């Protein structure tokens, strides 16, 4: 299920949402400019979040990877998928919190996502990258603030695809249940087959818990 659009207009232009998208894209193009092999590998080892290095008594610089990893991506589809979700759902959350609180909310959700991933695989030395943990927090916030908004989704059915309109609460709960099943199946296993499912879960739960603090005063839940 791929979200394409929501019917939830914003009150003002979402400068920070657009800025985050631009920043992620620019960082990705920088990644592409690096020579393949040792240099690119060293870049990810330095700036990606690696659970085992964070759990071990680390240098202070290792903690910085919890932030820098949010702006790295492992490929075109990884980047495009994350930026699509950020574009569709991030603008409304920025609208509901205000710009300064939005960036703090985004980063805290990303940190919570990294924490959940580290707890699920503390000895992993696989670099973890991507904005999906922070964006999952945005999805959790959207579920509470705009459950009745309609989301246009592309649903693959065999060799065909169909456009359907779903209420946000249904689309987001289905998304979260898929993360739970996928995350549960990886516990004690192969670290998710390359997907940090528990980062998605942790970010989503953080978004649910934090949005009540960060939303503007007078903004109702379940609008």
pLDDT of residue 58: 65
* Homologous superfamily, domain 2-214: Rhomboid-like (1.20.1540.10)
pLDDT score at 193 = 52
Euclidean distance between CA atoms 199 and 182, whole angstroms: 12
Strand spans (E) along 106-220: 150-157, 160-167
- The answer to whether the beta carbons of residues 24 and 82 sit under 8 Å apart is yes
Q: Please report the pLDDT score of residue 194 as a whole number.
A: 66
Query: How far apart, in whole angstroms, are the C-alpha atoms of residue 1 and residue 17?
Result: 23
State residue 35's pLDDT score.
86
Mean pLDDT by 10 residues, the chain (223 residues): 92 94 97 81 89 80 90 94 97 95 97 94 90 97 96 87 94 95 72 76 97 83 60
End-to-end Cα distance, the chain: 24
Residue with tokens 């709960």: 173
SS3 content of the chain, % helix, strand, coil (to 5): 65, 10, 25
């Amino acid at each position: 299920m791929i979200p394409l659009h929501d019917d939830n207009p914003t009150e003002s232009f979402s400068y920070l949402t657009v800025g985050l998208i631009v920043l992620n894209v620019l960082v990705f193009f920088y990644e592409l400019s690096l020579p393949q092999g040792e240099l690119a590998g060293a870049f990810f080892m330095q700036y990606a979040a690696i659970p085992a290095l964070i759990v071990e008594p680390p240098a202070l610089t290792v903690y910085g990877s919890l932030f820098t990893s949010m702006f790295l991506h492992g490929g075109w589809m990884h980047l495009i998928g994350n930026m699509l979700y950020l574009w569709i759902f991030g603008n409304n959350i920025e609208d509901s919190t205000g710009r300064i609180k939005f960036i703090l909310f985004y980063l805290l959700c990303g940190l919570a996502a990294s924490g959940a991933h580290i707890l699920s695989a503390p000895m992993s030395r696989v670099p973890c990258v991507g904005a999906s943990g922070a964006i999952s927090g945005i999805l959790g916030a959207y579920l509470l603030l705009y459950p009745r908004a309609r989301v246009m989704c592309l649903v693959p059915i065999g060799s065909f695809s169909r456009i359907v309109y779903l209420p946000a609460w249904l689309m987001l709960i289905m998304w979260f249940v898929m993360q739970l099943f996928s995350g549960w199946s990886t516990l004690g296993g192969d670290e998710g087959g390359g997907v940090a499912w528990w980062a998605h879960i942790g970010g989503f739960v953080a978004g649910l818990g934090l949005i009540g603090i960060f939303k503007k005063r007078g903004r109702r839940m379940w609008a």
